[in-house]
Amino acid sequence: MLQIQAKIVSNTQIARGYFKMCLDAPAVAQKAEPGQFIYVHTSNEYQPLLRRAFSVHKISHQPPVTSHQLKNKEKLKQMEILYRVRGEGTRILAEKKAGEELDIIGPLGKGFALCPLPFTLYPVLVGGGVGIAPLVFLAQNLAKNRKPRTTSLRGRPKTENRILVLIGAKTKKEILCKDEFERLGCEVKVATDDGSQGFKGKVTELLRNILASRSPFPVPRIYACGPRPMLKEIAQLAQQYEIPCQVSLEERMACGVGACRGCVIKAPSSRLPRTASLRGRHASGQKTKKPENSFVYKRVCKDGPVFETGEIIWE
Ligand SMILES: Cc1cc2nc3c(=O)[nH]c(=O)nc-3n(C[C@H](O)[C@H](O)[C@H](O)COP(=O)(O)OP(=O)(O)OC[C@H]3O[C@@H](n4cnc5c(N)ncnc54)[C@H](O)[C@@H]3O)c2cc1C
Ligand code: FES
């Protein structure tokens, strides 16, 4: 974890209320993993006091500039965040100009576990609204070693052998990052609430249909980020179809580094009561009852923000 002054390379509106900011922060970008976040001081003033969390959206490579970099064929890494203007902090961020500096801490948290999959099996990524942000970096990493196969017919990538990305948005104007996923070789399907593009309905309905038909290929793993009700539904679907699933949660944060416990969620406890043996029996030989409230608290900023869906008690 580093705290640095990162120079803003660009800060561009990509849709109404949505911005992409590119930061010159090679030391943080170098260490960042998909699903991790940076913690940003949006203002140089006293207010807003608390930092704001943003997922690492993308890492881009820039050509070397100094003679040392040229000699060592070093590529500079820049980092992007994708954000929606919601309140005071993001409003201030949207006003920032290229060349200004931003106080950031990162990379923070536990990101997605990139479990190896057989070459023929491809995961599904599901993003709702600005929840699509961390999935581009994830797709960048997943796509590295999983280039789409080409058919012998027309040399086109075979759709059934690609990472499938499902993007959920209210209307077609709010569909984010479609081109970027396609550039990475992913197959992209879109769901809009009003049906202005793609499937009409929630992205979870689209996922449900795909899982029901097990098409275009058996789904070995789901990665998702978006609003909590969407993630809860995806967790239920994953359980129903017995698919391992990781989700990235958003929770209001204070310290951002695991110290204040202000961002906790409930997780099932795997601990047995002290008197119980490992086989769930009391020292007397009687069966022990599972305690009714057997949960522990986990910190979204430190133990997450990415969790396996089974690690979360969905309330
Ligand atoms: C790990 C993590 C990663 C995140 N990644 C992104 C990202 O990539 N892009 C992005 O746009 N946002 C992301 N967020 C949410 C982002 O941190 C908030 O949108 C931001 O803090 C809002 O700041 P604000 O000052 O503009 O809004 P505020 O004035 O603080 O709040 C405005 C409204 O947004 C709600 N809100 C604020 N923060 C959160 C939060 N953390 N979770 C849910 N609701 C919140 C408030 O309840 C309020 O209704 C992430 C949050 C976390 C915890
Ligand atoms: S914000 Fe302090 S522990 Fe997570």
Query: 189-241, pLDDT tens digit by residue?
Result: 999 999 999 999 999 999 999 998 875 557 789 999 999 999 999 999 999 98
312 part of a folded domain? no
State whether 244 and 156 are in the same domain. yes
Q: What CATH number has the domain bearing residue 63?
A: 2.40.30.10
Contact between residue 65 and residue 17 where contact means Cβ atoms under 8 Å apart: no
State whether 74 and 6 are in the same domain. yes
Most confident of 170-179, 208-217, 271-280, 286-295: 170-179
Tokens of 292: 């009714």
Who wins on pLDDT, 109 or 62?
A: 109
State whether 101 and 9 are in the same domain. yes
Judge if the beta carbon of residue 50 lies within 6 A of ligand 2.
Answer: no
Nearest bound ligand to CA 21?
1
313 part of a folded domain? no
State whether 234 and 173 are in the same domain. yes
* Residue 175, H or E segment: none
Of 73, 108, 143, the position where a domain reaches its end is 108
State whether 96 and 210 are in the same domain. no
> Cis link prior to 134 (omega < 30° from 0)?
no
Nearest bound ligand to CA 305?
1
Residue 152: what pLDDT?
53
Contact between residue 172 and residue 151 where contact means Cβ atoms under 8 Å apart: no
Residue 290 has pLDDT above 60, yes or no: no
State whether 228 and 128 are in the same domain. yes
Contact between residue 191 and residue 174 where contact means Cβ atoms under 8 Å apart: no
181 part of a folded domain? yes
Class of residue 201 by CB neighbours under 10 A (exposed 0-12, middle 13-18, buried 19+): middle
State whether 129 and 244 are in the same domain. yes
pLDDT band at 247 (very low <50, low <70, confident <90, very high): very high
Q: What is the pLDDT of residues 15-60, one digit of tens each?
A: 999 999 999 999 999 999 999 999 999 988 878 889 999 999 999 8
Contact between residue 75 and residue 89 where contact means Cβ atoms under 8 Å apart: no
Helix (H, G, I), strand (E, B) or coil at 94: helix
Among 59-68, 162-171, 186-195, 240-249, the range scoring the smallest mean pLDDT is 59-68
State whether 95 and 142 are in the same domain. no
Residue 280: what pLDDT?
40
114 part of a folded domain? no
29 part of a folded domain? yes
Measured CA to CA, the distance from residue 279 to residue 208 in angstroms comes to: 38
188 part of a folded domain? yes
Range of the domain at 97: 2-108
Q: Which residues line ligand 1 (CB under 6 A)?
A: 37, 48, 52-55, 81-84, 86-90, 130, 133, 250-253, 305
Who wins on pLDDT, 68 or 252?
A: 252
